Amino acid sequence: MRKVSYSSYQTTLKGGHTRSRIIILMIFVFAAFSVIFVRLFQLQIMRHDLYISIAEDQHFGAIDLPARRGDIYVKDTHSGELSKLATNTTLDLLYVDPMVAENKQEIATKLTPIVFPQSEYEQCMEKPEECFYAVEKKNTIETLIVSDTVWDVDSGATKKVESAREEELDFKSYSAMSQEISEDILRKITKSEVDFVVLRRDSEDDLMADIINERLPGIFVDTDRFMIYGDPTLIPESQLHIISKTLATYLDEPPSTIETRLTRRQVRYVFLRNKLSPEASQAIEDLNLKGIVLLPEHWRFYPEGELGSHLVGFINRENTGQYGTEGYFNI
């Protein structure tokens, strides 16, 4: 019988444990590299087209420049004078690129009095339905600082005295509305990711019902506005492809197109206001703040108001002629 010393046995045992640990470590490393390889294969090969499309969207942009519509005149048969009933005007659209914007609090503070001046507030009080910003008609009691001119007996001259006075208002005061608008602008431009993507407007009831029944995460239906939209931040990445394929069967769009639109991405465009007056556009340019962009847009303008409107027609939000001459010569 062969005798083995205790020390030799211990050495053999330790060597076995070492080899086992090395094998386990190698298996772990192999598994980790396998996971990385599979993930890279998925990103580089299987989803190559999707990420190429996303990359191109981040580096290239396209802006539709529709042809300007012609002017419409009416001729006075007695004097032969021409009166312009419809023409075009160019007004700017204002948006902010949060990735470029630096001091966002400063942007919100300085833009507010330009996009919502005191004069517009007064117009909103008269015609709330035509106001760009939502105006709720309700009685509110606010403390206003009132400046009065009084006679100072000691100096023998007039002087201004400011005092606080509580007044009941039909609408919120200009300062209160301005504060809300400033906070809303700041909230919008501080978003880091896109959280609202319109998938379909003017949706039919049956279509909205089908989407609701699918119970897709991150996909919502607004029955009041007949709109189907998504929030990319609430869509699990692992389910994005399946959700896109499901939506494609209802929306009649390629799954890849829907998937691109619903992919999580940084906010690069925050719309704030359109139809800015030339004075407002100039004031915004003078601010010289990074991230603020003015985009010229063509709008239809009717100098004579409703004169001849039954013959002229009008232009809808999609810049499409409706009825009358506008509809007949629509491109």
Residue percentage of the chain with pLDDT more than 70: 78
Mean pLDDT of the chain: 82
d(CA 313, CA 321): 7
Q: What is the pLDDT of residue 199?
A: 94
Q: Does pLDDT of 317 surpass 90?
A: no
d(CA 116, CA 174): 9
Nearest Cα neighbor of 218 from 246, 182, 192 is 246
Residue 52 makes CB contacts below 8 A (sequence gap 6+) with none
Q: What is the pLDDT of residue 231?
A: 95
d(CA 315, CA 300): 7
Neighbours of 10 (CB within 10 A): 10
- Provide the whole-model pTM: 0.59
Q: Does pLDDT of 115 surpass 60?
A: yes
> What is the band of 88 on the pLDDT scale with cuts at 50, 70, 90?
confident
Report the range of poorest mean pLDDT among 48-62, 143-157, 242-256, 257-271.
143-157
What digits encode the pLDDT tens for the residues 122-160?
888 888 877 888 766 555 555 555 566 666 666 666 666
Neighbours of 258 (CB within 10 A): 22
Q: What is the pLDDT of residue 148?
A: 66
d(CA 291, CA 200): 29
Summarize the confidence of residues 89-105 as an average pLDDT.
Answer: 91
Q: What is the pLDDT of residue 15?
A: 58
d(CA 142, CA 173): 8
What digits encode the pLDDT tens for the residues 5-26?
555 545 555 556 677 777 888 8
Report the range of poorest mean pLDDT among 16-25, 73-82, 195-204.
16-25
Residue percentage of the chain with pLDDT more than 90: 36
Q: How many CA atoms lie within 13 A of 173 on its CB side?
A: 13
Name the strands in the sheet holding 227-230, side by side, starting at the edge strand that comes first in the sequence.
197-200, 227-230, 219-222
Q: What is the pLDDT of residue 77?
A: 83
For the chain, the distance separating the N- and C-terminal CA atoms, rounded to the nearest angstrom, is 106
> What is the band of 163 on the pLDDT scale with cuts at 50, 70, 90?
low
Q: What is the pLDDT of residue 167?
A: 57
d(CA 18, CA 288): 67
Residue listed under structure tokens 């001729």: 75
d(CA 102, CA 53): 28
Residue 166 CA, chain-centre distance (Å), reads 38
DSSP letter assigned to residue 266: B
Burial of residue 178 (CB within 10 Å: 0-12, 13-18, 19+) is buried
Residue 254: both structure tokens together: 């390629």
Residue type, 187: R
d(CA 317, CA 27): 63
What digits encode the pLDDT tens for the residues 272-310?
998 898 999 999 999 999 999 999 888 888 887 777 777
Residue listed under structure tokens 């032969």: 80
